[in-house]
Amino acid sequence: MFLNISITEWVGYLASLALIISFMMKNLNNLRVINSIGAILFVIYGIMLAISWPIIITNAFILAVNIYYLTFKRVRINS
């Protein structure tokens, strides 16, 4: 425990921070990469919460979509 906050909560806060930062990105690829990090952290958070399936399933889907677009649907957007 750090600052009287459990490791599980820290993972949740870090995942939320990654998600917030990703939405500030102008570049779509950067958004997807940082959003994927947040999704991975949220999956870990869902597991740490004694298997919270709604969190795990939603973020696993988001991660899969991000991976799909980053690998198979590379779109170059000039911004």
> Is residue 2 helix, strand or coil?
strand
High-pLDDT (> 90) share of the chain, %: 82
27-31 average pLDDT score: 93
Over residues 33-64, the pLDDT tens digits come to 999 999 999 999 999 999 999 999 999 999 99
Q: Where residue 2 falls among pLDDT bands split at 50, 70, 90? A: confident
Q: What is the pTM of this model?
A: 0.86
pLDDT averaged over the chain? Answer: 91
Dihedral pair phi/psi, residue 77, rounded to 5°: -115, 120
Q: Is the pLDDT of residue 24 over 90?
A: yes
Distance separating alpha carbons of residues 11 and 15, to the nearest angstrom:
6
